Amino acid sequence: MFPSSLPSSIRVLERGWLSANNIVFLDDARTASVVDTGYVRHAAQTVELVRHAAGGRHLARIVNTHLHSDHCGGNAALQAAYGGTERCAIIVPAGEMQAVNNWDEDALSFRSSGQQAASFSAAAELSAGDVLELGGMPWQAHAAAGHDPHALMLFQPDERLLISGDALWELGFGVIFPEMVGEPGFALTRATLRTIEALAPALVIPGHGAPFTDAAAALARAHARLDAFEAAPERHARHGLRVLLKFHLLQQSSGIALGALFTWFAGTDFVARTLCCFWPHVEPRTVFNEMLDSLLQTGLARSSDGLVFDADAP
């Protein structure tokens, strides 16, 4: 839980990379809210962590910066734990509510990216320009397209606090998924970084990693990284495939057979679309071997007796 420099009404729960961070707000003496809820595999842990951070308060609202599986995977469990849709409202970015309430896993990208999520119901949408009261303070919603077309950031102008989701981390930003399948994303990411520059936050609470104060340095790194990706889109596509492969390994409670890992890779729609866009004449097995070798050589994965493990797996 992160600390002292934050207002007393905010609790930041820094999670591992399979789950996004959770930001708990003590709205008043009786109610609390949370921004982002982690991955579905960690849902039970998320419920306990949020319950502890809320200090006995009722969780009245869940807000999602965007609806990737590692940011909304605890929504269903938290909503159930706090009385269902009537007592725990879920607020999603504008443009996503219909897909959520119809539980369209294709529109929400869960099926196409080979990830998991538990269905939940949304009560309202949040649009760029809206103001939301959290922890007794007004927070402005700002568009954060690039990583996800519907993504939002939340900014508290008095304390100059920014909840950046995956738009800015201390050492980078989230994969620009549209660019992997030939859709625009680099320019949108640049615009989001410039929005953050204009806001000039004193403290950034990212979707992954610890909160940090040197936003200018993080933005300089992010711009340099974006420059490199724009100059070599294939480099970004390779990075994205490695991220998807690493995320799949993180989901495994133990190792996965090499053949099963390739079957997942070759059978995942988003991977197939990326291969078609960047390497239409290369066998999927060739690209898979390259991506896996990269993870193994950099120590992000390990293999033994025909099984592949995440580097930190027991």
- Domain definitions of the chain by residue range: 10-164, 233-310
Distances (CA, A) of 37 to 102, 129, 219: 20, 23, 25
Distances (CA, A) of 41 to 14, 44, 74, 99, 120: 16, 8, 8, 22, 15
Indicate the length of the chain as a whole number.
314
Lowest mean pLDDT segment, chosen from 123-132, 163-172, 251-260, 267-276 = 251-260
Output Rg (C-alpha) for the chain, integer angstroms. 19
E strand intervals along the chain: 10-13, 22-26, 31-35, 58-63, 89-93, 124-126, 131-134, 137-143, 152-156, 161-165, 203-206, 256-257, 301-304, 307-310
pLDDT at 114: 81
Judge whether 192 and 144 are in contact, CB under 8 Å.
yes
Q: Which among 255, 261, 264 is positioned nearest to 302, based on CA atoms? A: 255
pLDDT at 311: 87
Per-residue b or e along 172-189, where b marks 16 or more CB atoms closer than 10 Å to that residue's CB: bbbbbbbbbbeeebbebb
Q: Which two tokens stand for residue 68?
A: 């990737």
pLDDT at 89: 97
Q: What is the mean pLDDT of residues 203-224?
A: 97
Q: What is the mean pLDDT of residues 209-224?
A: 97
Q: How does residue 103 score in pLDDT terms, banded at 50, 70 and 90? A: very high
pLDDT at 3: 43
- Strand duo 203-206 + 10-13: pairing: unpaired
Q: How does residue 285 score in pLDDT terms, banded at 50, 70 and 90? A: very high
pLDDT at 85: 86
pLDDT at 1: 44
Higher pLDDT, 14 or 110: 14
Amino acid making up residue 51? R
Judge whether 5 and 34 are in contact, CB under 8 Å.
no
pLDDT at 111: 84
Q: Which two tokens stand for residue 186?
A: 């680099």
3 state SS of 292: helix
Q: Do the domains spanning 10-164 and 233-310 agree at the CATH topology level?
A: no
pLDDT tens figures, 117-151: 899 999 999 999 999 999 999 999 999 999 999 99
Q: What is the mean pLDDT of residues 256-270?
A: 95
CATH of domain 10-164: 3.60.15.10
Q: Which among 142, 141, 213, 217 is positioned nearest to 172, based on CA atoms? A: 217
Judge whether 241 and 191 are in contact, CB under 8 Å.
no
pLDDT tens figures, 14-27: 998 889 999 999 99
Rounded CA-CA distance 291/240 in Å is 10
Higher pLDDT, 54 or 84: 54
Per-residue b or e along 7-29, where b marks 16 or more CB atoms closer than 10 Å to that residue's CB: eeebbbbbbeebbbbbbbbbbee
pLDDT at 152: 98
pLDDT tens figures, 232-247: 999 999 999 999 999 9
Q: Which two tokens stand for residue 81?
A: 């734990």
pLDDT at 116: 85
CATH of domain 233-310: 1.10.10
Structure-token match 């940090």, residue found = 212
3 state SS of 218: helix
Q: How does residue 314 score in pLDDT terms, banded at 50, 70 and 90? A: low
